[in-house]
Amino acid sequence: MELRQLRYFVTVAEELNFGRAAERLHIAGPSLSQQIKALERDLKVSLFDRDRRSVTLTASGAALLPHARALVDQADELRRRAAGLLTSEPVRIGYVNWCPTDWAERAAGVAQLRVDTWVMPSHAQAARVSDGSLDLAICWVQTTDLASLSLDAHLIGVERLYALSVGTDTSPVEAKEMLVLLDADEASWSSWNRYAEQFAADTGASIMRVDDGGVTGPTFFEHVRRLRRPVLNNPRGQNVQESGGLVRRPVVHPTPLWTWSLVWRRGEDSPAVRAVIDEFTRDAPELGVDDEGTWLPGTDPHRPRGIRTGADRRPTPTTRRPAPPRAERVKSPGEEEVSPPRAQDLAGEISASQQRHGAGESEQASG
């Protein structure tokens, strides 16, 4: 029997719903169910009666609940006292869409953790930490963000981005053959736009600007169908089930990585905040940022030293500088296909020649 299992038991008993309890504990539903079954085996009693519609405590579960709750509370208080961290002020943490599955459990023993329900983009969450609205945030940052906002960061998560494509072909796709979407709404997509622009500049991938929020979600799926070529997936949609007719494809040469940092104010002196930082960063596993064939932006704070981007390399007889990103033009419904023109800059302005050939009647795609 483990303390975390008792904590899970208490949470399920309070919610009487495995889905809500799993969300509150920030763990997967199947994992929570398995832990409860393991606790029942250890105690040799059934704690819950559950069917498809409801969850109720058994007589044994109801009898054990006060004792389990007391043990959890005593363990938490003991750990806080041992660390000298008794405080009435909770540690406020925000995130974007990724977070550790066990963060509530890890923080419970050292401080009160208040997970902010106001989910915002990475650049907004970093700014909220800087201005004191949050104590911590899990977000994507660049070295320039850390310097301008006076923040420190520690790597706690990495996601390998993939391509989404029409059809059934799931073979790897070369980065230079990719299309990346940028959104005109900088207030919502500033972090993604900066990442995507650097990826295109380093690999020679094409870029296209949209103004409909279509860098993720159902509108993104529609763009992929219309474009009929591999499009780089946004991390906000990393675990979203793709709709019918679309498949995921690994990206190679190189494989783009998206990093998640725990950020806090430089010089943070709150014992409770420092304790949560220690809990979240200790015993961190290898996350693969230095794996061969992977890519991070040149301004990523977790990028291994000594590795340069394609834009950093000088052309040699065997190493060519990647071609400038290409701005794509997407045909409107009923319009004949037009070959995408080359673009000489990331702004992707429509040239005069494009305008003379009716580009104004088609959907503009730029980077």
CATH no. for residue 275? 3.40.190.10
pLDDT tier at 337 (50, 70, 90 boundaries)? very low
**Percent of the chain topping pLDDT 90:** 56
Strand 113-115, strand 151-160: pairing = unpaired
Count of H-run helices and E-run strands, the chain: 11, 14
State which H helix or E strand residue 157 sits in: strand 151-160
Strand 55-57, strand 113-115: pairing = unpaired
Q: Determine, yes or no, domain membership for 99.
A: yes
Q: Determine, yes or no, domain membership for 339.
A: no
Q: Determine, yes or no, domain membership for 143.
A: yes
- 144 and 27 assigned to the same domain: no
> Is there a contact between 215 and 192 (Cβ–Cβ < 8 Å)?
yes
- 130 and 59 assigned to the same domain: no
Q: What is the span of the domain harbouring residue 19?
A: 3-82
Q: Domain end: 270, 289, 308, which one?
A: 289
Report the 10 Å Cβ neighbour count for 202.
25
Number of domains in the chain: 2
- 31 and 150 assigned to the same domain: no
Give me the phi and psi of 282, to 5 degrees please: -75, 150
- 12 and 77 assigned to the same domain: yes
Q: What is the rounded distance in angstroms from the CA atom of residue 276 to the CA atom of residue 278?
A: 5
Q: Determine, yes or no, domain membership for 76.
A: yes
Report the 10 Å Cβ neighbour count for 226.
14
Q: Domain end: 25, 57, 82, which one?
A: 82
- 35 and 105 assigned to the same domain: no
Q: Determine, yes or no, domain membership for 52.
A: yes
Per-residue pLDDT reduced to its tens digit, 266-316: 999 998 899 899 988 887 778 889 899 999 999 999 998 644 444 343 333
Q: Determine, yes or no, domain membership for 56.
A: yes
- 78 and 99 assigned to the same domain: no
- 16 and 70 assigned to the same domain: yes
Per-residue pLDDT reduced to its tens digit, 37-64: 999 999 999 999 988 788 999 999 999 9
Nearest in space to 160 (alpha carbons), one of 50, 239, 75:
239
Q: Domain end: 82, 111, 132, which one?
A: 82
Q: What is the rounded distance in angstroms from the CA atom of residue 75 to the CA atom of residue 80?
A: 9
Q: What is the pTM of this model?
A: 0.65
Q: Determine, yes or no, domain membership for 63.
A: yes
- 139 and 96 assigned to the same domain: yes
Q: Determine, yes or no, domain membership for 108.
A: yes
pLDDT at 114 over 80: yes
Per-residue pLDDT reduced to its tens digit, 221-271: 999 999 999 999 999 888 788 878 999 999 999 999 999 999 999 999 998
